[in-house]
Structure formats: structure tokens, C-alpha cells
Structure 1
Amino acid sequence: MVELVAKGVYLLKGRVLMEDADRRSLDELNNILGQAGCEPLTVRHIDRDTARKGTIAYQILANHNTSGNWRDLKLRFDALTSHDLTYVGIILTARASGLKEFPVPYVLTNCHNSLCAVGGTINEDDHVFGLSAARKYGGIFVPAHQAVIHQYMREMMAGCGKMILGSDSHTRYGALGTMGIGEGGPELVKQLLGKTYDIAYPEIVAVYLEGQPRPGVGPQDVALAIIRAVFKNGFVKNRVMEFVGPGVANLSVDFRSGIDVMTTETACLSSVWCTDDLVAEYYKIHGRPGDYRRLEPGEVAYYDRLVKVDLSRIEPMIALPFHPSNAWTIAELNRHAVEILREVEAEGQKQLENPNLTFNLTHKLVDGRLKVDQGVVAGCAGGSFENIVAMAEILQKPITDSRFSLSIYPASQPVYLELLNNRSLEKLMVAGAVVHTAFCGPCFGAGDIPANHGLSIRHTTRNFPHREGSKPGNGQLAAVALMDARSIAATAANGGILTPATEVCTASPTKPYYFNKQVYTNRVYHGFGRPCPDEELVFGPNIADWPKFRPLPENLLLKVAAVIHDPVTTTDELIPSGETSSLRSNPVKLAEFTLARKDPGYVGRAKAVQAQELKRQKLVAEGGDVAALAEVFGPLLARETDKTSERLHRLIETTGLGSVIFAVRPGDGSAREQAASSQRVLGGDANIAIEYATKRYRSNLINWGMLPFTIEPGQEQNLAVNDWLYIPGIRQAVANGQESVPAVILKPAGEIPLELKLEDLTGEEREIILAGCLINYYAK
């Protein structure tokens, strides 16, 4: 189904792949092209550097780069977007940094806390704040239930050749010719303040599609097959995926978008597709024909790697707990259910690290087939028009088992309206499905939470541990498996017995789509270019400004507050989703939940050190006797040979106390900045990792003033919870641009040296860390 080539390839005329085109004569190349039915090349010779500039990604990145050097990108985006879990913190950060008005269109959607079901008034208070900010600064405000964030951006804001930055990891509009990047909030703050998004030019990976999917195979099946092939080996990590090849033309725009939004789960930086007449028709239907232009690789384009996908060989897939890459064909699972489920149970139990909970899937087997409890189709991945039309055609009879529930969330009100008009929703509701308004909750644990020990199949984006909403601390454990909407409908028709849609589909249904823009015209606030500076921001009682953060001290003494040896640590584990979402406008309250499901003792350890650091700062500021802290600094003072009072006082005055966590590969998943900022609110000064799972998590650490250290594999064995880590001269090391920083682990049994790496930091990133956070940096 999916073939990987871990070396550079040339794409000629958008059709012919070759590894050595630069070493062949033009006559030979043109002969090969002629056999493939392509026109001859017009170039006189082929060289790699020129061919690199033949990719679609290069064309778009170059057009948005302000540095003058294509290898060192400083990007400005055409539009920004955030939802109601993130825009409050972003606007408050930008406001504290001098924001006057939004310089580019900034879309504020309300699709995560839109149920307003937790915490009294606080969710709607956030929405009122968002509208007041859109009015004051000149933004675009999409009220609750109108659209999920990415569907609105597809329908109203994407454009061929554009770039959009969003504070949500699934900011992906590549199928529409738009490069979307999901990042933490501080990166949006930079854009709001007229600054740039700074990265080295990324490698570009060709995703070459050929063939055509069989009836019953949907976009989630293709996406899961790709994710299975590329995630664990980091094949496309922090790279751009560029979808090309003859198979693209065999996919509708909805189908392409369904694959594209899931590229986030590969850990890539961004994605883009070649565009064609079907994309032109999409823009025409949505009343924006001027936003279309044809995007395709140059006649010679060089890609750093290749993912080759034969669409005709893709089968219905299922991603079992607890990651989208843990994918199998449904046919495989049905043939070998016991063996596969026991393997998944064993791995899942390791991830849970809770001996009081037993993760069990084999009890769901009925006559050798997996029987699930619930189906959900929702959000930016599942709730598309074509997915739901296909479900209506498959689910032609009532759901026969009342223990199986099916919930469907069309991704926007215009999609909902058209599904009403063509009677697809009527068919689904008569069959027993429940239809809701646009909502992202089922994707992150704020809606359709299964019962204890329940198994839900979902066409959403993620199935991380507890992301479905269960609380292991309360003895609750449920799980999610990811599937395509078509196979979810086939399973529903079979009473919850896992069934691939290819068993029931003989054709791929299509219905015309009519977009009614009036839905948005009557409800969405369009204020871009029309700020009202005299408008007051409306603060609810839960909305709080960020606390103050100190600059980086001369030295650091850090308590190791958590050590996580899992292969990957998700942002859901760093700061839980679900019920905590309502607290994201209050950073101090939210921080109480940091690592709550992974290491419940972390918050107490971090706060104990933070209290001592605040005491130290107060004594230093007031000229008090810092000797009162001698006991806390005991592990450090004991190693000093010069024990004069002046030396010891000076050491305490210049050494900041803080906390640090170690995780092997932290930061997979959501772009939420709170995974980093919550540590900072609790006095965190650093993370230590073997590597960071995503660029966006590492960026969040830096923007909140935390040191993104890495170490060599094996060195983590020396780190234990409650160890002290002393990093002398850290401020000078950061200022000097050092990429290797000596440190010492202080244990009761003695010292262990540790080399901390601080690589690939830009000058501005080092200045942000020195200042203590992005807010402090701009305040200077």
C-alpha cells in the first residue's frame, strides 16, 4: 500500500519519478517521458539546487519569506486562526506586548468549549471576550455551533498559494493549495506584532499517489495507512509533505482534505497538494473563484524523500489505542483478533502505568469479532459533506443493537444545511443516529464520553490515552479506535460488530453540494480592517492575565520533578484535554492539572520548589538574609570548597531555583501552548529530552522561557525524581550561543556530570529565554 524511499528523488513533468535524473542525458530522459505520455523537457540540464525550487512548497515558502535567503526563512502569513481554547491567552499575551490592531485577518472560532457545559458561565465568558477582542482589534468572530475551526478556514479563508498559521495542530489546508502550520499561541502573537515565523528551510517529501480507491475506502483509511508507515520512524518529522502524482485527480476535494488534515499525526511541519479543476470548482462553489490558481511542481522538481501510495491497494483501516499509527487493516484484525488485541493490551498497559487499572479489549470479542459500543463522526476530519453522504447510503436499515450509539457532527452549518436539503440526515436519523451541530469535543474528550471499559470507534483525529474523556484517577478507563466514516456506518448497520465498508459498498455515492454563504453572512462578525480601539475587552471572572516570570538567572538549581520513560509523551499527558479545557483562560488554575494523569505528584513537587524560589527572590529584592535558604541550597553549598559566607551568599543570590522534567520524546499531538506554559507557571525552567516529538512543542518551551535541553540516549538513567540538577553559568552560556552546557546531578551518594545540549537556537530564541518569556522579551 505504502512504499518509503529514504533518499532524494526527481519528479519529471509531475509524473515520472527518478533517483538519478541529474546523471542522465536529456535525450534519455525525454525518451522515458515520451513512453509515459509526457511532453519533452525544455530545460537544458538538471541540477539538484535548481530542482529543489521546482516544488510547490518552495514556491509558496519563497513568496512568504522576508529574509532574502531561502535557506533561512522568516515567514509572514496571510491569515491566522484560533479557537476558544486558545484565543484568550493569545490575545492577552499580545495585549501585554503592545498589540494595537490585528495586522492580518485573524479568525476566532468557537468550536471546542461551545457546549458551555462545564464551570458555570466561564465558557460563554470566553466567547464574549473573543467577540469584544474581534471588535476592538479588527478580527473575524465565528459564533459557537457555526463551524469547526478548520472547516470554516477551508470554506472562507484558504486560497491557492496562501499560508495560514493556527493555534491548533490540525491547521492543514494543503488540499486547497494552502500551506497551514499549527503552532503554539506565542507564534501567533509574533505575527500579531508584525514579527516573523523563523525556521530553517525544511526538507520536502513527495507523497506520490497513484491508482484509485475502491468503493468503501475513505480518506481516513488512506491517512491511517500513511501514518502507520511514517510516524514511528520519523520519516516526515518536521518536513513538508507535498502530494503529487496521477492519483490526486482520482480524489474529490473532500477526500483530499480528509487525508490532509491527518498529516498532523505524521509529525510533519505542513502539507500542500497540487491543484486542478476540482479545486477550482470548490472555490467557485464557495463563491471565491479568485482564490484559485493552478499549483503544480515545475517540470523538474527534487524531493528529499518519497512516500509512494497505491490508492487501489488501500483497505479499510482501524487505529487501535493509543495512537493513530497503531493501525491495522480491519481484515487483519478480524482474522487475528485475539493475537492483535492482546498485543495492544500489553502495550497499552505499559502506557497507563497504573497497576490499579486493567486495560482490556479482548473482552469485546463476540464469536471472534470485535464488538464496539459507540461510533462518532465529527470535526475537521470526519464531519465533511461527502463522509456523511456516504454514511447515509450505507446505513439503509435501523441500527439493530440498542447498546450501540452513533453520533454525527457535520463540520459546519452550511454542510448541515445541505445534508438536510438532500435528506441524508433524515436517513441517518431514521436509522438511529443522533445528529449534532459543529463541535470538536469528541476529538479531545469533551463530548460522547464512553462508559467505563467502553470502546468507541471514531472518525476524528486522535485516540491518545484518556483523550476520549475517561479519568483514570477516578478508576475510569475507556478507549477510542480511529476508523473511516464509511466503515463506522457499516459497523453500525451490523449492530456494532466491526465491519469494513468494502463488504457492503459496491459504488462510491456522490451528491452535488451547494454552499449557502448566507448562513455565515447573518452570524459571523467581520471586523478585519475596521478596529474599534475604544471598545472595551469584556473579562469574565475566570479570565486571568499571565503571572510574572523572572529572567533567566546566572545559575540554575533545578529539582527533577518528573521522569517519564515512555517512548513518546503527548501534550494530552503533559496537560490533559477534556474537562480542563474550560480553565485555559486561567493559567494558574489550569497549571494545577499539569501531568495529572501521568504523574499526580508532579504539581506538589514543582510548587514546593517554586515557593522557595519566590522566597529567594523576595529576600534578594529586599536585601534580606539569604542564609535562611541554606537548607534548600544544601546540596549545592555542600559541593563548594570556598565556604566563606560571602561566597555562599553570592551563590544563593545568583542561583535561581526551579523544576525540570525529563521525557524521552515529549510533545506529540496538540499545538496547545499550555503543555509548556503550565510547567512555567509552576516554576519550571527546562525540559530534558532525547528529542522533541514536534517543533511546535519545542517552540512553546522557548517562547515561555524554558530551556529545551537534549541529552544523549542512556544518560537519562542517571536522572531520578527529587534529584537536584545544578547548571552553573547558564545565563552566560545561553548569551554566548553555547550548544553544550555542563551540568551536575547532585545525589546523596555523590555527583554525576551531565552534558546538556542546547542546539539550533536562533539569536532571537536565546534572547527570549534570557528575558524569561516572550512577554518579557517584547516588554523590553
Structure 2
Amino acid sequence: MVSLYEEGIYLVNGTQIVPESERGKVKTLAGREASREAGRKGTIAYSILEAHNTSDNMEHLKLRFDSMASHDITFVGIVQTAKASGMEQFPIPYVLTNCHNTLCAVGGTINEDDHMFGLSAAKKYGGIYVPPHIAVIHQYMRERMAGCGRMILGSDSHTRYGALGTMAVGEGGGELVKQLLRDTYDVAYPDVIAVYLDGAPRPGTGPQDIALAVIGAVFKNGYVKNKVMEFVGPGVASMTTDYRNGVDVMTTETTCLTSIWRTDEDTRAYLALHGREEDYRELKPADVAYYDGCVYVDLSTVKPMIALPFHPSNTYEIDELKANLSDILGSVEKEAEKISGGNAHFSLRDKIINGELTVQQAVIAGCAGGTYSNVMEAAQALKGKNCGCDEFSLAVYPSSQPVFADLVKKGAVSNLMDAGAIIRTAFCGPCFGAGDTPCNNGLSIRHTTRNFPNREGSKPGSGQMAAVALMDARSIAATAANGGRLTSAWEMDGWDKIPDYEFDGISYENRVYMGYGKGQKDKELVYGPNIKDWPEMSPLADNILLKVCSKIMDPVTTTDELIPSGETSSYRSNPLGLAEFTLSRRDPEYVGRAKAVDALEKARVLQGAEKELEMAPELKGIFEAINKIQGSDKVTIQDTEIGSLVYAVKPGDGSAREQAASCQRVIGGLANICKEYATKRYRSNVMNWGMLPFQMEAEPEFEVGDYIYIPGIKEALDGDLKNMKAYVLGDGVGECEVKELNLYIADMTEEERAIVKAGSLINYNRSRQ
């Protein structure tokens, strides 16, 4: 059972929940009066944020992190941007892992060139370089970097190490660049939500089951959006730290800002096992702590779960699904029709055979699924079993070489292989479409992090579509033992205690380049032919004219839709090459439209209004309409910046990848308009790439091809950002019908305003030099 409190709560002595409306009870329990102000300071989150805040204002935090992490589809751009901004060394430990572009099977040597660039950057600037196949980013950070009371920033949305007492934040690359330049991460003090764990998980219930139960309860209502999830309560002690890690990493799918857990002797034991007992300290709430809300979880009632396509919040108990197969699967098929846009067919009810759902593929992998306890439990369940020789297949990816090595020593790998599973190395590919793409119309069950549309690698635009359902490794093992017939772990016996994990770091000692504090300035960065510099981006003009190049009315637009993952990852080091894929799976005509607008802007800057009017004669009517609005103030093409615009209802759910914004920018993107941004990190990316993060409350009364004029935008950025007047002018064909549009921008820091005015974070940093 997962339930949400409709008001704030006081947590007394770490075990007793007192709703705010019953505040008087706190004095009876704790012997003193309670107040919100004092109680907020009693959370674990407050103590860590206060220790990392460089300002004297706890309402507006300016944070510096203890260390950072990036992988090989983000670190090239981050280093390039920081280098262009004047960075000479990594000022804090910076881990560069190679777990996303691991396979160099696409584009010749493109991916391996990125790896060599990363190694050269670690040597030149003093970084830590983890070669391909050695560890996925988050497992390495758990094993070697996370510690109690620390803060870590990562350029991956699943940067979450709360179970180790570390507040970790996943952000776009621009925020990491700021840390490399000794600037700060600026954020308003967030609400803190208690996740009160009670009871203990039943045998066969795994961390993914707990996580999916919570995600299903909080995602759609935004209960923890951009807030801190603080895990407390007696149920924490019922889980090992390895198990807690599996729950914690999935908090990203709630859209929270970060997470933190109370620590205990099991946390100490985990750190000691990894040779870092000195990084332990007890973290727990004060005897009275105030939380802005509470998620209550009775762990003993959580059953094996499944998140059906196409989102981790589309959750059901497996038993519930099996009792209503046709109805529930039919609803997913309808969603698939919308997603495919008629380009591909995806069905699920045809997979019901003799009343059971059959799946074609299973994967246990990555930072969520590939941990020791998950793989070991799956191996024990499959010992002596047989996955069968039909269409069903199972692939297992241990999360690091040390985990892999111990699984080998304990016989788990041979148990899995004997059952028919394929064992692979540490790789994040199954999470984002670069490994194990299912067959056309196939259903894959995965203990990974996400199941967004086409994230598994299918291409509806080319007539090929598959989908992923998320499950825990234990239920995946039970399903594999039944040859692919969907099975809950509770339908099997034998979920016994697994042998303790024995960590041996020799593979890290022999292969990881440990260069922090040992930068060699004379070393040269190693560039491959696909590693390109960022193109020039213009500073913001006084007035802007936006052309609507995409209008997406879906309830949520993910970063995977804004810039697809999978094979496009090979172009993450080539800004213009990657930009060709922008919105390619959601709005294939967008790139052509945006590039046409960008050509107009380039003509304005380089060749003047005459050339621009020749390219787009409708602009004559547009500017006639603008000058009717302006009255006596003459506005010309020459003093009005022209850019493209994307409207989406709620953009940015999912990955932290900055390319979701930068790909729009490098082909002329100048703004987004939405009702709300799905995540802080996507909105930050929009601003760091010099685009305006507009919002509006009304329904959009404009269409693709329409122009929107916003006068005095630079002056407006100096104001309160409310009630910003804009004008919809139509497409310029025929007489322009002018409609007023009320826009606003949520709070921006002074630095964010300056970055947007400069045209990008790169421009802003260059100007500071």
C-alpha cells in the first residue's frame, strides 16, 4: 500500500508521523512545541544543502558539489564547452565513464574516438577515466565516490546515490560546465517530502517493485516534482544497501530533484566492503523534522509490479494485469496507435495464449537491474531451469566488473548460462535503445530504468515498432523459468537468502585511469573526425520573431522524443550532425522547417533584409503588421532576430541530456513555449543554450507555420517576467490577423537571464573572460 498525505507532516523521533493539522501532538511526543521553520532544519536534506551552499541565503541556494560524473555521450560536449570557456583543470574529482557509447559498431570508429578524447581529457585536466565495459556510470559512483553527507552532480538523469547518504542530482551538461568553472548550481530551496517506509518486503518482491509502486502513486499528480525525496522510517532497515540502491535510482522517474536516505550500520558495511568505511556517518532526521508532504509505503503489501508501455508510471500489480489482460492490453494498443502515427502496427492481445501473456525478450541490466543482489536472486531462481528454445530470450548485464567477477566466483553466471541466458558486460545500451532491440511487434520485459516510446530502439517511422514493460529481476527470472509466460515472482518458491557479496577492486586498480589532481597541461586533447566544435550562436536581439516549427499536444513530451536515443548517440559529439535527428520520431518535418528559419536569420545577419525578403516574401506582410502594432516606432527586419519555436504541453520528461535543447538551438531554435516544464533539468538546458523558456496558461491559438512577434524581449528579461506581451501574426500569406498572446517566464536567476541574453552559456563565459 502506498498512500499520500494531503498536508505537511512532522516526523517525531524518526518513527511517528504527525499531520500538520495535528501539530499539538508533537509536544506530547517530543516534549516541545513544533514549528515549520525549525522542523525544516531537522531534515537530512537541510543539513547537506546547508553544508554545500556558498551563499548566506538558504532560500536561494548556490551549491558546489563534491564530485561529478559523465558518460561517453555527454562528456565530450561538456569538456569542449568548458575548454571554450577558459577551464584549465578539473577543480573537483570528475569521473568520465564509457558505458553508453560502449559498442563501437555504428559509424566506424566514431565511438572509440570519443573514448580516446575522454582519456586525453582526463590526462590533460586531471580526471578519472573508466574504460568501456568496466562499469556503468552509477555503479562506479556507488562503489568508489558516494559517501555520507556528500553531493554529486552527474550529466545523466539517473544520478541518484541517496541510499549511500549522498544527495545526487542529474542535470544537463551546462550545469556541470558551471562547476568546472567554479561557478555554482543555483536553485530555490526545494520542498522535502518524507518517504516513510514501514514493514519489510516479502520474499520475491524486489527493489523495482517498490520503486514502481511509488512511481505509480506520485508521477501523474506531480507530488514530488522538483522536490527532495527523503527516505525514513523503520522499513529502511529491512533492506540491504544494495537493495536500497535499486529503489533509489528509480526516483528519477518521479521527476523529483534528488533523494536522500537515512543511513545505518548496513550503509557502513557497504562502504567498508568497498574499502571506504571512513566515508560513513550516521544521517537521520532530528527528533522533530518537518516535511512538506509524505509518501507512506507499507513494504509488506507491495506485490510484484509491472509498468506497461509507454511510461514507468503505467503501473499494475502483475496479478491485476493477469486478471484483466485483454482490457488493460487493449488500452496500451490504443496508445501505441497514437505514438506510431499510423506508420507501424503494435499489438499485445495477440500475445495472449491460453489465457497467459507471452513475451519475446527479457533483459536484466544497468544501474537498476544489474546489481549483485538482483542478478544473484535471478540466478538462484533459474538454477536447473530452462528458458526454452523458442522465441523468448534473456540477457543479463552485471553492472560492473567487480560485480561480474563475484557472480562468476559464486557460480551464478554458470547457472544463468546453463538456463539459456546470455551474459554481457557492463553497458547501458538496453536502457536507451543501443542494445537488444526487440523484434518487430515484440514485447520485452526489462529490469532497467525506462520504457518510453521507441527507447528500446524501434523506428515506427520505418514501419518497425516494439515496446518494453518494466519488471523486477525476480519476476523476470520467474517468467524466464516459464519460457516467457508472464509470471510473478510470488508464483515461485525458493527466494532464499543469497550469499554475501565480496567486492574485489582489482579490475578498477588495473584499468581505471586515476588522474585527479595530476593534470598535465602540456597534453593535447585527442580529436576524432566526428568531434566538432559548437557553431556560433548569436546574442539575443531587442525584438524577436518566432516561427512555430512544431506543435505537440501530447500530455507529456519526453527528451527521447525531442532528440532520440539509440544509434543517434554516435553523433553526440557532432552538434550539427546530431541536430538532423531532432524530433525525428515525433515530427519528422521539424528539422526542415527549423533550418529554413535559420537560413532566414543567417541571411539577416550576413546579407541584409533584401535577401531575406527574397527567401521569404511573406515577411513583408508580417513586418507591416508588426509596425501597426508598434505605431510610430519603426521596426525593421534588421533589428529583429528570427528563430524557430517548439510548442509542447509539458516537455522534458526523462533524460538529462542537454542535446534535447542544444539540437534545437544549433539549427535556429530561439524559444520553447509550454504549459509547464516536466523537469527542472530540461528547462535549465533550454536556458543554458540561449533559448527562452516561455510558458502560457491558455490553449495555443497558433499553428505550425505561424509567426509570433515579441517586442522588447531584452528589456522584459530585466523585469518580473510576468504578463509578457506577444502577438500571433499568422503565416504571412494574405492579410495578417493579429492576436495577442500572454506569455510568462518562471523565476530566473540573474545569471540565467544573462546567459539567455548572451545567446548561450558558451557566449556568456567567453564574455566573462
TM-score interval for Structure 1 and Structure 2 normalised by the shorter chain: over 0.9
Aligned CA distance change for structure 1 residues 630 and 504 (closer, same or farther; 3 Å): closer
Identity of paired residues, percent? 59
**TM-score normalized by the length of structure 1:** 0.96
| Structure 2 residue corresponding to 1:380, chosen from 345, 361, 367 | 367
Amino acid corresponding to residue 207 of structure 1 in structure 2: V
Amino acid corresponding to residue 731 of structure 1 in structure 2: K
Amino acid corresponding to residue 79 of structure 1 in structure 2: S
CA RMSD of aligned residues (A): 1.7
Aligned CA distance change for structure 1 residues 118 and 4 (closer, same or farther; 3 Å): same
SS in 2 for 1:262: helix
Aligned CA distance change for structure 1 residues 25 and 317 (closer, same or farther; 3 Å): closer
- 1:12 corresponds to which residue? 12
Partner Cα distance (2:595, 2:225) in 1: 34
Query: Matches of residues 509-548 of structure 1 in structure 2 within 5 Å?
Result: 509-548=497-536
- 1:772 corresponds to which residue? 759
Aligned CA distance change for structure 1 residues 614 and 66 (closer, same or farther; 3 Å): same
Offset at 1:161? 0.3
Partner Cα distance (1:539, 1:443) in 2: 28
Partner Cα distance (2:471, 2:26) in 1: 46
Query: Matches of residues 61-140 of structure 1 in structure 2 within 5 Å?
Result: 61-140=49-128
Partner Cα distance (1:132, 1:487) in 2: 43
Conservation of the 8 A alpha-carbon contact between 1:140 and 1:527: yes
Conservation of the 8 A alpha-carbon contact between 1:715 and 1:754: no
Offset at 1:740? 2.5
| Structure 1 residue corresponding to 2:623, chosen from 637, 645, 656 | 637
In the alignment, structure 1 residue 691 sits paired with structure 2 residue 676: yes
Partner Cα distance (1:20, 1:269) in 2: 23
Partner Cα distance (1:320, 1:750) in 2: 45
Offset at 1:682? 0.8
Offset at 1:435? 0.4
| Structure 2 residue corresponding to 1:659, chosen from 626, 644, 648 | 644
| Structure 1 residue corresponding to 2:431, chosen from 443, 450, 455 | 443
- 1:550 corresponds to which residue? 538
- 2:178 corresponds to which residue? 190
Offset at 1:393? 1.1
| Structure 2 residue corresponding to 1:728, chosen from 696, 711, 714 | 711
Partner Cα distance (2:678, 2:248) in 1: 20
Offset at 1:739? 2.5
Q: For residues 360-414 of structure 1, give each alpha carbon's deviation from its aligned partner in whole angstroms, at most 9, with x where no partner exists.
A: 1111111121100000000000000000110011112121243111000000000
Partner Cα distance (2:169, 2:567) in 1: 26
Deviates more, 1:55-64 or 1:503-512: 503-512
SS in 1 for 2:715: helix
Partner Cα distance (1:101, 1:665) in 2: 38
Q: For residues 563-582 of structure 1, give each alpha carbon's deviation from its aligned partner in whole angstroms, at most 9, with x where no partner exists.
A: 00000000000000001001
Amino acid corresponding to residue 13 of structure 2 in structure 1: K
| Structure 1 residue corresponding to 2:663, chosen from 671, 678, 700 | 678
Offset at 1:207? 0.2
Partner Cα distance (1:8, 1:647) in 2: 53
Amino acid corresponding to residue 51 of structure 2 in structure 1: N
Deviates more, 1:76-85 or 1:726-735: 726-735
Partner Cα distance (2:409, 2:100) in 1: 27
Conservation of the 8 A alpha-carbon contact between 1:616 and 1:629: no
- 2:386 corresponds to which residue? 398
Offset at 1:729? 1.1
- 1:33 corresponds to which residue? none
- 1:367 corresponds to which residue? 354
Partner Cα distance (2:296, 2:538) in 1: 49
Offset at 1:506? 4.4
- 1:738 corresponds to which residue? 721
Q: For residues 22-71 of structure 1, give each alpha carbon's deviation from its aligned partner in whole angstroms, at most 9, with x where no partner exists.
A: 74266632xxxxxxxxxxx3x64322100100000111000000111111
In the alignment, structure 1 residue 700 sits paired with structure 2 residue 669: no
Aligned CA distance change for structure 1 residues 21 and 602 (closer, same or farther; 3 Å): closer
Query: Matches of residues 79-478 of structure 1 in structure 2 within 5 Å?
Result: 79-352=67-340, 354-396=341-383, 397-478=385-466
Deviates more, 1:396-405 or 1:284-293: 396-405
Offset at 1:631? 2.0
SS in 1 for 2:62: strand
Offset at 1:518? 1.3
Conservation of the 8 A alpha-carbon contact between 1:740 and 1:759: no
Aligned CA distance change for structure 1 residues 643 and 290 (closer, same or farther; 3 Å): closer
Aligned CA distance change for structure 1 residues 287 and 640 (closer, same or farther; 3 Å): closer
- 1:498 corresponds to which residue? 486
Conservation of the 8 A alpha-carbon contact between 1:735 and 1:770: no
In the alignment, structure 1 residue 719 sits paired with structure 2 residue 673: no
| Structure 2 residue corresponding to 1:56, chosen from 44, 59, 76 | 44
Aligned CA distance change for structure 1 residues 641 and 275 (closer, same or farther; 3 Å): closer
Query: Matches of residues 617-636 of structure 1 in structure 2 within 5 Å?
Result: 617-620=605-608, 631-636=617-622
Aligned CA distance change for structure 1 residues 628 and 474 (closer, same or farther; 3 Å): closer
Partner Cα distance (1:28, 1:129) in 2: 62
Conservation of the 8 A alpha-carbon contact between 2:434 and 2:457: yes
Offset at 1:715? 2.4
Conservation of the 8 A alpha-carbon contact between 1:217 and 1:501: yes
- 1:34 corresponds to which residue? none
Amino acid corresponding to residue 104 of structure 2 in structure 1: C
Partner Cα distance (1:202, 1:86) in 2: 26
Amino acid corresponding to residue 740 of structure 1 in structure 2: N
Partner Cα distance (1:526, 1:186) in 2: 24
The gaps in structure 2 that reach 5 residues or longer are: none
Conservation of the 8 A alpha-carbon contact between 1:207 and 1:307: yes
Offset at 1:652? 1.0
Conservation of the 8 A alpha-carbon contact between 2:604 and 2:611: no
Offset at 1:514? 1.1
Partner Cα distance (1:453, 1:125) in 2: 35
Offset at 1:357? 2.1
Aligned CA distance change for structure 1 residues 236 and 642 (closer, same or farther; 3 Å): closer
Aligned CA distance change for structure 1 residues 641 and 420 (closer, same or farther; 3 Å): closer
Offset at 1:633? 2.0
SS in 2 for 1:497: coil
Partner Cα distance (1:627, 1:373) in 2: 56
Partner Cα distance (2:90, 2:480) in 1: 46
Amino acid corresponding to residue 240 of structure 1 in structure 2: V
Amino acid corresponding to residue 737 of structure 2 in structure 1: G
Offset at 1:472? 1.1
Deviates more, 1:721-730 or 1:81-90: 721-730
Q: For residues 553-605 of structure 1, give each alpha carbon's deviation from its aligned partner in whole angstroms, at most 9, with x where no partner exists.
A: 11111110000000000000000000100100000000000000000000000
Q: For residues 249-301 of structure 1, give each alpha carbon's deviation from its aligned partner in whole angstroms, at most 9, with x where no partner exists.
A: 00011110000000000000000000000000001000000000000000000
Partner Cα distance (1:574, 1:25) in 2: 50
Partner Cα distance (2:422, 2:664) in 1: 39
In the alignment, structure 1 residue 761 sits paired with structure 2 residue 748: yes
Amino acid corresponding to residue 592 of structure 2 in structure 1: G
Conservation of the 8 A alpha-carbon contact between 1:558 and 1:724: yes
Offset at 1:638? 2.5
Partner Cα distance (1:604, 1:626) in 2: 17
Aligned CA distance change for structure 1 residues 279 and 641 (closer, same or farther; 3 Å): closer
Report the count of equivalent residues. Answer: 762
